[in-house]
Amino acid sequence: MANYDPSKDIVAGRTAKQIEAAKRRAVRGGGRKKCKKGKSCGATCINGSKVCLVDLPWVSSNGLSKVATKIQSAPRKKKNDKEPAVNPGITLSPLNSYSSLMEKMKETNSASPELVSAGGEVNNILHNDEDKKYVELRDKVGKKVVSDGGWAIAMFSEDYNTSYSIRMADRGAKGYEYYKKEADDLNRILTLKEMPKPEVEKFRGFRATNERLQEMIEGAKNRESFITPSTNSWSSSLKIGQRFANRAIDELPERDRRVIFRTINKRGVPIREVSAVTHEEELMTPRNTRYRYLNYTSISGAAGIYHIFDVEEMS
């Protein structure tokens, strides 16, 4: 290497002398330029893919070979490489006035095509014996898993007392052990990756005590997360959510606050085609689903005040 001349090393098509000249011009030209396009390089702007000579260290012949080696060995992005696409999904539109509440009820009064399609797919997974695709799917996940899960869905949707008992069994409550198998069968079928989980807006209405309401409001202020320990029923219809928020519980009169949760579905399975109650546009969401509070607002209506919480369905 006796004849090696580092001053002839090339970095980004420039020699050491050319790099030093560029840096001196930048020093004379003042501070960095703010660029709307490309990137800043001294007092000018250059293409984002170019190497800024000003950013290179002051290099005489001793240091340039190291810089050249580092740049030339760095992985280069191919021209046809693309950044991974990010699907923003649907978002929650503003719901902060009585008029927006009424408009949202009209908007969600009928099932979306996506929800109808997903509901039909659930029916096919559970009951289609003619299409080879679904026969093979049931063989793959287990015929008993599917049949027992379908039976559990029917039981849950049949009446309030049964769904309440299954939810209590989910929680491990004493006296509800009889429904533990149905609770487990239901959760197993809902969490199958083969079951469709359409990304649609959904609602859940219920009554709460004032103490519980204040806890939820505080959670919303702090953007806290929470887990639902049992299977829960949601609806793509705000009108159904409002109906359950309006429904008083005779044995629990202290629950007098109307609450509506709203989210974008990530884990719920639509059961409109297999439910005993077909008009509720129900999405059954498995136990231990995690949510995060996003927003809270209260809206006064003819029946009273609705406390509406936007939440994110996470996992």
pLDDT at 203: 98
With 60 as the cut, is the pLDDT of residue 190 above it?
A: yes
With 60 as the cut, is the pLDDT of residue 7 above it?
A: no
Domain limits, CATH 3.90.176.10, in the chain: 98-313
> What average pLDDT does this structure show over 270-296?
93
With 90 as the cut, is the pLDDT of residue 50 above it?
A: no
**DSSP helix/strand/coil, 79:** coil
Mean pLDDT of all residues belonging to the chain: 84
Percent of the chain residues topping a pLDDT of 90: 67
pLDDT at 81: 43
Residue 159's pLDDT band (cuts 50, 70, 90): confident
pLDDT at 76: 53
| Closest alpha carbon to 191 in 161, 170, 168, 162 | 170
pLDDT at 88: 54
Percent of the chain residues topping a pLDDT of 70: 72
* Higher local confidence (pLDDT), 89 or 156: 156
Contacts of 131 (CB under 8 A, 6+ apart): 124
Number of H helices, E strands in the chain: 10, 10
175 burial type by CB count under 10 A (0-12 exposed, 13-18 middle, 19+ buried)? exposed
pLDDT at 301: 85
With 80 as the cut, is the pLDDT of residue 130 above it?
A: yes
**What one-character DSSP code corresponds to residue 76?**
P
With 60 as the cut, is the pLDDT of residue 65 above it?
A: no
Q: What count of other Cβ atoms lies within 10 Å of the Cβ of residue 218? A: 12
pLDDT at 221: 97
Least confident segment among 76-80, 151-155, 170-174:
76-80
User: Which option is the CATH number for 98-313: 1.10.3720.10, 3.40.47.10, 3.30.930.10, 3.90.176.10?
Assistant: 3.90.176.10
With 60 as the cut, is the pLDDT of residue 28 above it?
A: no
Distances (CA, A) of 201 to 70, 92, 299, 314: 51, 7, 19, 14
Residue 91's pLDDT band (cuts 50, 70, 90): confident
Least confident segment among 21-25, 134-138, 152-156, 258-262:
21-25
